[in-house]
A and B are shown apart, each in its own frame.
Chain A
């Protein structure tokens, strides 16, 4: 499984094209899942270049933490309506052939679009 990392750009990592330099140097195919105006970015880094990329980013002053948190799913409350499937931008939720809801946590980027859409309140933000 490819790991997800939360990058926080601040301090000396600001004002430089850090990620572009990183990609050019390591040639890693970094996938940006989510980015916000506060300087946070959620990325997926291929396993083969993970070590190089993390070292480069940390050297440039980027705060890097592995992102394990995903939307929490309560199977007991779920009624398999699948309403969340058209809201999830990454396809983390889908209905299988039996129309049972399947949650692929690996795809969740914690955007939270699904949480207030669930009529059974089966989805929630992870507790830190």
Chain B
């Protein structure tokens, strides 16, 4: 039996609508089945509370006397964008302070404002006939502003990837601190509570949908940036990062409990945003989708130590695995933790549920549906090792110094790779041979270099050039994942390639 938006709103007004959170819905459907759930339940509330860098606020400060047209503006030393009219500015959550660096940024300015604290406004300008003032410095509070809108271009990812680190060094990412040698795994979604996982085909969510945002009523104003509907799905939900939302709310009504600034060491500043979407249970299909649980939602654990936009998949897991606190990687138990607090996501879904139950919040039919879109990479020239590498000169392990010296001269190279059945064992350079001769060493095993630093054909030239520089070497053997020799890339290859370009 189908319901309409109007019927559900009438029930909300009468005070007899039945509202469940997405977690409660799982239990309800398990006990009573989808048919009964579709009939009895009116709205399922969702919630997420995650680090959402693509957030910020448009602020209007009112005019100074005499007036100024901001050319550049700072709030507590954090620069805001003001390439619009005189006293409008956008403070981006991820913008860093010019004096405190990573420890303070746009997100902290937003948090300070909603806490009612004074913020230093500093602006400079070139001065015009209509806006003669050239600089200003004053203290303002949120109350002093004409308008303050939280306006976030990309929030509430529909699922996201998980992260680990295969390298031998700790790395610092927007997914948190990742310990070496698969030391931990981090993930960042509210999974079974997350808005877009509960309506994965956007049957009730669209432009104009009223939502919970930062503790007040907000609206979806469109697809978020990097909105992607072309990710392979499992049980209806994309495996990895899918759709996103662009949202707006009145910052003056925001609750500091649902908007928190944060710093990820080595990465930067971000804003934790609380966002919840009510899903009207119009029919059985929608009811069934809101009953999805962690065990049915999958994601890829990616290796964040690989400096590429296409990071290798280490393992595909579901959120019941991730939430258990441990997953297995290469036979070892690895601890998992979430970047996004589940407790706060629950608080969002519970608060939204309460608002609807108390008749303070009506559900809305979207004004317009989202349009399918795919995620394109940036258009620019990328060059890979595989395009530039040359054929390597290779000897077997039992080669002697005479043979190696002749090869260096005859082939006119400076590096010779040593292989055992096609797999890389070591490397010798002309300098190593000279040293070996000087010290009377004759056998290869006495002067070859083992534990060689290598490159993969799919790595970019920039990455391998940096690796050569860091290690003070002029060539890298190119190998596949099984250490099979594919070629060699030298500083000379790269220099010549750049010259041709």
Cα distance A100–B346 in the bound complex, in angstroms: 11
- For chain B, the bracket of interface size reads 20 to 34
Scoring B176, B270, B336, B346 by chain A CB atoms within 10 A of each residue's CB, the highest score goes to B176
Scoring A82, A95, A120 by chain B CB atoms within 10 A of each residue's CB, the highest score goes to A82
A96 CB, min distance to chain B CBs, angstroms = 10
- Is B217 an interface position by the 8 A CB rule? no
- Is A65 an interface position by the 8 A CB rule? no
Contact A81 B177 (CB under 8 A): no
Cα distance A95–B339 in the bound complex, in angstroms: 13
When distances are taken between beta carbons in the complex, the residues of chain A under 8 Å from B342 are: 80, 82, 95, 99
Contact B176 A79 (CB under 8 A): no
Q: Contacts A79-B272, A86-B335, A99-B346 known; A117 to B176 CB distance under 8 Å?
A: yes
Cα distance A34–B51 in the bound complex, in angstroms: 33
Contact B339 A79 (CB under 8 A): no
Smallest Cβ-Cβ distance to A98: which chain B residue: B343
In the complex, the 7 A-B pairs of residues with the closest C-beta atoms, listed nearest first: A86-B337, A119-B262, A86-B184, A117-B177, A86-B335, A99-B343, A116-B265
- Is B12 an interface position by the 8 A CB rule? no
Q: Contacts A116-B177, A117-B176 known; A79 to B341 CB distance under 8 Å?
A: yes
- Is B55 an interface position by the 8 A CB rule? no
B45 CB, min distance to chain A CBs, angstroms = 17
Contact B338 A82 (CB under 8 A): yes
233-286 of chain B: CB within 8 A of chain A = 260, 262-265, 270, 272
15 CB contacts below 8 A, A to B, read A79-B341, A80-B342, A80-B343, A80-B344, A81-B337, A82-B337, A82-B342, A83-B337, A86-B184, A86-B186, A86-B335, A86-B337, A113-B179, A119-B262, A121-B263
When distances are taken between beta carbons in the complex, the residues of chain B under 8 Å from A113 are: 177, 179
When distances are taken between beta carbons in the complex, the residues of chain B under 8 Å from A84 are: 337
When distances are taken between beta carbons in the complex, the residues of chain B under 8 Å from A13 are: none
Cα distance A48–B270 in the bound complex, in angstroms: 50
A-B contact count (CB 8 A): 66
Smallest Cβ-Cβ distance to B51: which chain A residue: A119
Q: Contacts A87-B179, A99-B343 known; A81 to B263 CB distance under 8 Å?
A: no
- For chain A, the bracket of interface size reads 10 to 19
- Is B325 an interface position by the 8 A CB rule? yes
Smallest Cβ-Cβ distance to A119: which chain B residue: B262
- Is B185 an interface position by the 8 A CB rule? yes
326-360 of chain B: CB within 8 A of chain A = 335-344, 346
Q: Mark A85-128, 1 if CB is under 8 A from B, else 0.
A: 11100000001001110000000000001001101110000000
Q: Contacts A79-B344, A117-B176 known; A87 to B337 CB distance under 8 Å?
A: yes
Cα distance A98–B343 in the bound complex, in angstroms: 7
Q: Which of these, B172, B262, B341, contacts A99 with CB under 8 Å?
A: B341
When distances are taken between beta carbons in the complex, the residues of chain A under 8 Å from B336 are: 86
Q: Mark A47-84, 1 if CB is under 8 A from B, else 0.
A: 00000000000000000000000000000000111111
